[in-house]
Amino acid sequence: MGWTLEDIAWDRFDATRVDPDILAVVKAAAMVERNAADYTRYLRAIFQDDPQFQAETDRWQIEEEQHGDALGTWAELADSGFNYQAACRRFTDGYKIPLDGDGSVRGSLTGELIARCIVETGTSSFYSALRDATTEPVLRDICHRIAGDEFRHFKLFYATMQAYLKRENIPAWKRLLVAVSRIRESEDDELAYAWFAANAPADAVYNRSSATAAYGTRAYRLYQPTHVTRATHMVLKACGLNPQGLLGTVASRIMWRYIASRARIPLAETMPQPIPRAA
Ligand SMILES: [Fe+2]
Ligand SMILES: [Fe+2]
């Protein structure tokens, strides 16, 4: 554990710099982070023959839960009406991760680790984007620390995946399919229900598409092209594809279109440009 909640300078909090849309996104993110124990149980079960990796997932869980606690504490500071623990209960009462059955839902252990790489790519770019979008100093600090953790998580799952790839020999196209399907799952219930649990009035009725839109328009709007390009390169790397050159440029543009559509922003002039070749 590289840091704890005690390392955060909470007294630097500046209420005048809290953006209400960012606050709502932070509340939803805190729910998902805090719920890491379910994934650890699942990963422990499917990697039952790998005690070393199981121990890594235990450490990973503690860090993810701390992300939730840091974001939840900040949200309570920013909104005295918000109750982090109560919102977490509302989330876990209504949402269970769809990971039943034996073996990985990704078809192979390599596939499972690719899916984890995609999640950590998503979180490291999300917290980088959030850090760069807010001027509130405590939130900037928290997001910077979390983004660093998420990048290390990516490296952990990536390194583990390399070892399994040697045994399972999953071709690149299959790895790409896992990656794309995991990216598309960001439109499933998890984030949408987290948004609902953290932000909807007590008597509200959950609706996936409106919650997905409410979350997406606020969260994906925070991304700048550099965050998207970096995330795309991480995804390609996880699939064993070279992110440099034309593939990286084309994939970044496709990803930018996807982010823009989730954010419901017009496709901007800010579309990532090819990186000029050195002369
Ligand atoms: Fe996290
Ligand atoms: Fe993570």
Summarize pLDDT for 187-246 with one digit per residue, the tens: 788 999 999 999 999 999 999 999 999 999 999 999 999 999 999 999 999 999 999 989
Segments forming the whole domain that contains residue 205:
15-269
List helix spans (H) across the chain: 20-34, 36-46, 51-78, 84-94, 109-133, 137-168, 172-184, 189-199, 208-219, 225-238, 246-263
Residue 272: both structure tokens together: 């990532």
**What spacing in Å lies between the alpha carbon of 95 and ligand 2's midpoint?**
20
- What pTM was estimated for this model as a whole? 0.91
Q: What string of DSSP letters covers 96-159? A: --S--SSS-TTSSHHHHHHHHHHHHHHHHHHHHHHHHH---HHHHHHHHHHHHHHHHHHHHHHH
The answer to the question of residue 157 being in a domain is yes
Q: What number of CA atoms fall less than 13 Å from residue 90's CA on the CB side?
A: 24
pLDDT at site 185: 85
At residue 33, does pLDDT exceed 50? yes
User: How does pLDDT run across 133-158, given as a tens digit for each residue?
Assistant: 999 999 999 999 999 999 999 999 99
Q: What would you measure as the largest C-alpha separation in the chain, in angstroms?
A: 62
The answer to the question of residue 200 being in a domain is yes
**What spacing in Å lies between the alpha carbon of 148 and ligand 2's midpoint?**
9
The answer to the question of residue 4 being in a domain is no
Q: What is the DSSP letter of 202?
A: T
**What spacing in Å lies between the alpha carbon of 12 and ligand 1's midpoint?**
23
The answer to the question of residue 64 being in a domain is yes
Rounded CA separation 34/13 (Å): 22
**What spacing in Å lies between the alpha carbon of 61 and ligand 1's midpoint?**
9
Greater confidence (20 vs 272) lies with 20
pLDDT at site 253: 92
At residue 277, does pLDDT exceed 70? no
**What spacing in Å lies between the alpha carbon of 90 and ligand 1's midpoint?**
20
Residue recorded with tokens 């790409």: 176
Domain with 20 in it: what CATH number?
Answer: 1.10.620.20
Rounded CA separation 15/146 (Å): 21
Q: Residues 88-116: what's their mean pLDDT?
A: 86
Residue 96: both structure tokens together: 């269970």
Ligand nearest to the Cα of 152, by number: 2
**What spacing in Å lies between the alpha carbon of 160 and ligand 2's midpoint?**
15
**What spacing in Å lies between the alpha carbon of 29 and ligand 2's midpoint?**
12
Residue 221: both structure tokens together: 């709007």
Contact criterion met (CB below 8 Å) for 31 and 197:
yes
Contact criterion met (CB below 8 Å) for 68 and 31:
yes
**What spacing in Å lies between the alpha carbon of 98 and ligand 1's midpoint?**
19
Q: What angle do CA 142, 67, 44 make, to 5 degrees?
A: 150
Contact criterion met (CB below 8 Å) for 62 and 1:
yes
The answer to the question of residue 206 being in a domain is yes
**What spacing in Å lies between the alpha carbon of 190 and ligand 1's midpoint?**
14
Ligand nearest to the Cα of 68, by number: 1
The answer to the question of residue 7 being in a domain is no
**What spacing in Å lies between the alpha carbon of 153 and ligand 2's midpoint?**
5
State the average pLDDT for the chain: 91
Q: Residues 6-21: what's their mean pLDDT?
A: 98
At residue 69, does pLDDT exceed 80? yes
The answer to the question of residue 111 being in a domain is yes
Ligand nearest to the Cα of 120, by number: 2
**What spacing in Å lies between the alpha carbon of 113 and ligand 2's midpoint?**
13
Number of structural domains in the chain: 1
The answer to the question of residue 46 being in a domain is yes
